[in-house]
Structure 1
Amino acid sequence: MTATLDDLPIRDDLRGQRPYGAPQAPLPIALNVNENTHVISEDVADDIAGSIAKTISELNRYPDREFTDLREAFASYLGHGLTPEQIWAGNGSNEVLQQVLQAFAGPGRRVFGFSPTYSMYPLLTRGVGAEWVAGSRGPRYEITPEDAAEQVRAADADVVILCAPNNPTGTPLPIEVVESVYEAARGIVVVDEAYFEFAPSEAPSALTLLPGRERLIVSRTMSKAFAFAGARVGYLAADAAVTDALRLVRLPYHLSALTQAAAVAALRHSDEMLRTVDDIVVQRDRISATLEALGYDPYPSWSNFVMFGGVEDPQETWRRLYDRGVLIRDVGVAGHLRVSAGTESETTAFLDALAAVGDA
Structure 2
Amino acid sequence: MTDPQALERFIADLPDHVWVVVDEAYADFAKPEHLPNLLQFIGHKRVLILRTMSKAYGLAGARLGFLLGEPTAIAAYDTVTEPFNSNRSVLAATIASFKYDQPQFKRALKRIWGDKVGLTESLEILGCEVARSDANFVFVKLPDGAPSATEVTNQLMAQGVIVRDGTPWGYPDHIRVTIGKHDELEFFLEKFQEILNE
TM over 0.5: yes
Deviations 1:31-84 (A, max 9, x none): xxxxxxxxxxxxxxxxxxxxxxxxxxxxxxxxxxxxxxxxxxxxxxxxxxxxxx
Greater shift, 218-227 or 329-338, is seen at 329-338
Q: Which residue is equivalent to 1:283?
A: 115
Q: Are the equivalent residues in 2 in contact too, given 1:292–1:298 (CA < 8 A)?
A: yes
In the TM superposition, residue 309 of structure 1 has moved relative to its aligned partner by: 1.1
Deviation of 1:359 (Å): 7.0
Q: Which amino acid aligns with 1:191?
A: V
Please point out which of 150, 154, 160 is paired with 1:325. 160
1:266 aligns with 2:100: no
Match of 1:241 in 2: 72
Native 8 Å contact 1:222 1:228 kept in 2: yes
Within 5 A, what are the aligned runs for 1:94-173?
Answer: 171=1, 173=2
RMSD: 2.0
Residue identity matched to 1:232:
R
Q: Which amino acid aligns with 2:8?
A: E
What amino acid is the match of 1:197? D
Secondary structure of 2:164's aligned partner? coil
Correspondence for 2:10: 181
Q: Find the aligned partners of 1:192 and 1:359 in 2 and give their Cα distance.
A: 39
Q: Which has the larger radius of gyration?
A: 1
Map of 1:338 onto structure 2: 176
Q: Which amino acid aligns with 2:177?
A: V
Question: Equivalents in 2 of 1:218, 1:344: separation in Å?
Answer: 31
Post-superposition offset of 1:233: 1.0
Retained in 2: the 8 A contact 1:190–1:216? yes
Residues 1:235 and 1:317: Cα distance change in structure 2 (over 3 Å): same
C-alpha spacing 1:270/1:191, structure 2 compared with 1 (3 Å): farther
Please point out which of 24, 36, 54 is paired with 1:223: 54
Number of positions where the alignment pairs a residue of Structure 1 with one of Structure 2:
189
Structure 2 runs not aligned, ≥5 long: none
Report deviation, 1:300. 0.8
The runs of 5 or more residues in structure 1 that have no matched partner are 1-170
User: Whole-Å Cα distance in 1 between the matches of residues 78 and 153 of structure 2?
Assistant: 43
* Distance of 1:234 and 1:309 partners within structure 2: 31
Could you list the per-position Cα deviations for residues 235-294 of structure 1 after superposition, in whole angstroms to 9, with x for gaps in the alignment? 110111111112222222222122212211222124134120110111111111111110
User: Aligned residue for 1:130?
Assistant: none
Identity %: 29
1:358 is paired with a residue whose SS is helix
Query: Which secondary structure state, in structure 2, belongs to the residue aligned with residue 191 of structure 1?
Result: strand
TM-score normalised by the chain length of structure 1: 0.49
Match of 2:192 in 1: 354
> Residue type of the partner of 1:325?
G
